[in-house]
C-alpha cells in the first residue's frame, strides 16, 4: 500500500488529483490510501480521509510500503525515521500553495542526499512513481555536533560584533 499524505492545515489538490489520475491510469497497481487535508478535490480511484488521528496516521504510515507527500519536513522526517521510500512534490508559490518556495529547497536538498525521490510538476509524477518502485532511501545520520557548533559560532559572532 502507498500512503499519500498532504498534511491537515492546507489542501494540496494538485498532488491529490495527480496521484488519483495515476491510479486511474494503472500506473500505480497497488492500493493507495490518501490523507487529503481540507482541499476541494475528492479522489475517485483511491480510498481517503480528510484527516487522521495521530494513532491512525502512525498505523497507516507503519503499514505502507512507500509514501507520497508534499515536501514538508515533518513527513520527510517520519518517512526517513521508518526507512520508507518517499516521493515528494513540493507545494509551489506560483500556484498559491505556499507564500514562498521553501519546500522546493527542502526537496532538492533531501533528494541530493539520496533520502527521497522528488518531482516538481504533475507531468513528472509518473516518472517519480516508477523511480519510487525500486528506490531505497539513504539512511539519514543526524549531525548534532555540527548543528551545535554552527549555533555556537553564530552566537559568538553576534557577541563579538557589538
The tens digit of pLDDT for each residue in 58-105 reads 999 999 999 999 999 999 999 999 999 999 999 999 999 988 999 999
- What is the pTM for the complete model shown? 0.88
For residue 80, what pLDDT is reported? Answer: 95
Residue 162 has pLDDT above 60, yes or no: no
67, 75 Cβ separation under 8 angstroms: yes
DSSP characters for the chain? -EEEE--SSS--HHHHHHHHHHHHTTS--S-EEEE-TT-S---SSSEEES---HHHHHHHHHH-SEEEE-S-HHHHHHHHHTT--EEE----GGGTSSSS-HHHHHHHHHHHTTS-EE-SSGGGHHHHHHHHHH--PPPP---HHHHHHHHHHHHHHHHHT-
Measure the CA angle with vertex 130, ends 87 and 112; round to 5°.
Answer: 45
For residue 141, what pLDDT is reported? Answer: 82
CA dihedral of 138, 136, 8, 92, whole degrees rounded to 10? 80
CATH architecture of 2-160: 3-Layer(aba) Sandwich (3.40)
C-alpha cell at 59: 498505523
133 Cβ partners below 8 Å, 6+ apart?
none
* pLDDT per position as a tens digit, 103-161: 999 999 999 999 999 999 999 999 999 999 999 999 988 788 888 888 888 888 887 76
Separation of alpha carbons 137 and 86, rounded Å: 8
Amino acid at each position: 500500500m502507498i500512503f499519500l499524505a498532504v498534511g491537515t492545515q492546507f489542501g494540496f489538490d494538485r498532488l491529490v488529483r495527480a496521484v488519483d489520475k495515476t491510479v486511474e491510469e494503472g500506473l500505480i497497481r497497488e492500493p493507495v490510501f490518501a490523507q487529503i487535508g481540507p482541499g476541494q478535490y475528492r479522489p475517485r480511484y483511491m480510498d481517503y480521509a480528510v484527516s487522521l488521528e495521530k494513532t491512525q496516521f502512525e498505523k497507516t504510515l507503519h503499514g505502507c510500503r512507500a509514501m507520497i507527500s508534499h515536501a514538508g519536513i515533518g513527513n520527510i522526517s517520519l518517512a526517513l525515521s521508518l526507512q520508507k521510500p518517499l516521493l515528494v512534490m513540493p507545494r509551489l508559490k506560483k500556484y498559491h500553495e505556499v507564500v514562498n518556495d521553501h519546500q522546493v529547497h527542502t526537496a532538492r536538498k533531501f533528494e541530493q542526499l539520496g533520502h527521497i525521490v522528488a518531482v516538481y510538476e504533475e507531468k513528472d509524477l509518473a516518472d517519480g512513481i516508477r523511480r519510487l518502485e525500486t528506490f531505497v532511501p539513504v539512511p539519514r545520520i543526524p549531525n548534532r555536533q555540527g548543528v551545535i557548533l554552527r549555533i555556537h559560532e553564530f552566537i559568538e559572532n553576534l557577541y563579538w560584533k557589538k
